[in-house]
Each structure stands twice: as C-alpha cells, then as structure tokens.
Amino acid sequence: MSENKFKISSSPHIRSKVTSSNIMLMVTIALLPASAFGVWNFGLPALGMLITTTLAAVLTEYIYEKLMHKKITVNDFSAVVTGLLLGLNMPPTAPYWMGALGSVFGILVVKQLFGGLGQNFMNPALGARCFLLISFTGQMTTFIYDGVSGPTPLAMLKDGQAVDSMSMLMGRIPGTIGETSVIAIIIGAIFLILMGVIDLRIPGTYIVTFAVFVGIFGQFTKAQAGLFDPQYITSHLCGGGLMLGAWFMATDYVTSPITKKGQYVYGALLGILTGLFRLFGGSAEGVSYAIIISNLLVPLIERVTLPKPFGKGGEK
C-alpha cells in the first residue's frame, strides 16, 4: 500500500455545493415570475424581446471568448442573467434590434472588455440600458399600453396627477417589460432570500432610505404630497424600476460592496440618489442612473468600511 497514488492539495479538502453557476441559475429562475407577468401584460412582442436580449447576450459572450481564445464561460449563466435583465428593462414596443444592440454593448463593452465575469465595475444590463436611453431616448421612453401611448404612472405622479396604486402593485400599468408587477418581483426576491442568494442589507436599506426621502421631500414637488403621505410613498415604491432595481440589480454581487457596512452605505446612497433623480431630476425615473453611479462609488465605499479583525476591536 505504499505506492504514491493519493491526491495532494492544500486544506480544506471539502467544498460546499454552492457554485457560481447555480447562483446565476437561481437568479434566472427568480426572474421568471416577472418575465411571465411581462409577457402576459404586454403580449408576445415582450416574449420576443426577452428571447432576443438573452440570446444576444449569450451569443456575444460566446463569440467574443471564442475569438479571443478564452475559456468559454456561457454555461455559468451570468450572460443569461444580463440578457434577461436587459430585456426586462426594455419597453415592450422597442424594436428587437435595439434590444440585441443593448446586449452586445452590455456583454462586450461593459463586461468582457473590462476582464469578464467579476471584473466589470458597472452592472452590464444597466450599462446597456443607459446606453440605449441616451442613444434612442424617444423609443426607450415611449410606453404604449393597450394600444394607447401615454405617460407611466410615475410620470403622472411627477406631474402631480392621481394614480391607482393598486394596479401598480399588480402591474397592470405601462412600463418596461419586467418592472411593472411588484408582486411578481417580490415572489422572485423571496425565492432568492430563502435560497441564501441575496439578503436584505442592500435592498432593505435602499427601499427604506428611498421611502423616507420621498416621504420628506414629496412636499417640495408638483405633487405637493404631505409629510410621509402613505399613498404618495406607496405609489413611488410600486412605480418605475425601483423594485426590479432594488432586488435584482442593486444586489448584483460584482458591482456592490463586499463589506457589510459598505452594503448599508451603498443601499442608503441608492435611496437618496433615486429620490433626488425622481423628485428633482429631468425624468420621472431614476433607478438606473442611481445604480450605475453608485456602482462607480463602490471602491470608495469599501475603502472606508473595511471591517476590523476579530481581536483587534472588530465585531465579535
């Protein structure tokens, strides 16, 4: 029994069963309720858009890695998540080529050119969405619902008009494919929390900070909401991309702080920026820009929130 035949490696010799690809797969699964609702709400063009952006994202990653002679990583599902998220952020009436272009931009420019998975400093899906928003502002901000082109509830809210927060909660409103149904998004988020993929630190701080911000500053807008007007706050929470952004994009591991304290700071920053953009900015929406600006501040946030080690005054 003395032949040298056993494998050698550094300890530990056991590994947990959680892998990056099954985390990404769980995120994909968690996006399915919102996707399904979007298709039901907006019809088949929405399905076509989701398929287009997802396929384009995966293909871009595959072709880039093939051409660059890199390891093909499309089976880690991260490109699927990026593509699907971008699709959910598209207006249902936008042309498919626009969605495909967004996916190529997100995967190629935002993700791969910066080194691929784990190296991008900005959420690829949001980077792509903002690229499209700037390039094709008209098509990206036109929302046709039930054959009628009209303002989103968020835009009405900004304009000081009354909105129906019950239908906003359900999602029977105009908007991007995946952002309208708070209930569908929350179902996915609860799944991710139960599976241990995300926790409440970032989305919780984000939503609470944002609610407090609009609760206080709503009175200085056209809406002239009262201090902490529950109807006004609820409409803001259910409107636009807040829920999708808070639960699925602000929680992106790669572009959020790794330190626990930093995650609270990041969440609070998101809440304040989103509130500023929505109440006092030029557009009714502010989630995408709030997240990508906060993405850029992550290294700074981490630097000032480094934990102290155990036994050196750190958390016990």
Partner 1 sequence: MALLTFKGGIHPDDGKSLAKDKAIVELKPKGDLVYLVSQHIGAPASPIVEVGERVLKGQKIAEAGGFVSVPVYASVSGTVKAIEPHMNPTGATVNSIVVENDGEYEEAEYAPVKPLDEMSKEEILNAIGNAGVVGMGGAGFPTRVKLSPKEPDKIDYIIANCAECEPYITADYRRMMETPEKLVGGMKVVLKLFDNAKGIFGVEDNKPDCIAKLRDLTKDEPRMEVLALKTKYPQGGERQLIYATTGRAINSAMLPADAGCVVDNVETMINIYRAVVEGKPSIERAVTVSGDAVNSPGNFLAPFGMNQAEIVEAAGGFKTEPEKIISGGPMMGFAMYTLDVPVTKTSSSILCLTKDEVAANEPTACINCGRCVDACPSRLIPSRLADYAEHHDEAAFTAHEGLECMECGSCSFVCPAKRQLKQAIGSMRKIALANRKKK
Binding site for partner 1 (CB under 8 A): 1-16, 18-20, 22-23, 73, 76, 78, 116-119, 253-254, 256, 258-260, 306-312, 314-316
Q: Which residues contact 168 (CB under 8 A, 6 or more apart)?
A: 153, 180, 182, 235, 238, 239
Q: How far is CA 164 from the centre of its chain?
A: 25
Distance CA 269, CA 72 (A): 36
Q: C-beta of 289: minimal distance to partner 1 in Å?
A: 22
Distance CA 112, CA 222 (A): 43
- CB 260 within 8 Å of CB 201: yes
DSSP for residue 308: P
- Residue placing its CB nearer to partner 1 in the complex, 66 or 260: 260
- Residue placing its CB nearer to partner 1 in the complex, 28 or 52: 28
Distance CA 316, CA 308 (A): 10
- CB 223 within 8 Å of CB 157: yes
Q: C-beta of 253: minimal distance to partner 1 in Å?
A: 4
- Residue placing its CB nearer to partner 1 in the complex, 21 or 142: 21
175 torsion bin: left (phi>0), alpha (psi -120 to 50), beta (else): left
- Residue placing its CB nearer to partner 1 in the complex, 147 or 313: 313
- The helix/strand/coil state of 221 is coil
Q: How far apart are the first and last CA of the chain?
A: 47
- Residue placing its CB nearer to partner 1 in the complex, 239 or 262: 262
Tokens 């390891």 label which residue?
A: 71
- CB 209 within 8 Å of CB 237: no
Q: C-beta of 134: minimal distance to partner 1 in Å?
A: 27
Q: C-beta of 310: minimal distance to partner 1 in Å?
A: 5
Q: C-beta of 252: minimal distance to partner 1 in Å?
A: 9
Q: Does residue 12 have a cis peptide bond before it, meaning omega lies within 30 degrees of 0?
A: yes
| Partners of residue 149 on adjacent β-strands | 144
Q: C-beta of 241: minimal distance to partner 1 in Å?
A: 23
CA atoms within 13 Å, Cβ hemisphere of 32? 9
- Residue placing its CB nearer to partner 1 in the complex, 26 or 284: 26
Q: C-beta of 89: minimal distance to partner 1 in Å?
A: 21
- Residue placing its CB nearer to partner 1 in the complex, 73 or 283: 73
- Residue placing its CB nearer to partner 1 in the complex, 4 or 69: 4
Q: C-beta of 113: minimal distance to partner 1 in Å?
A: 15
Distance CA 269, CA 286 (A): 13
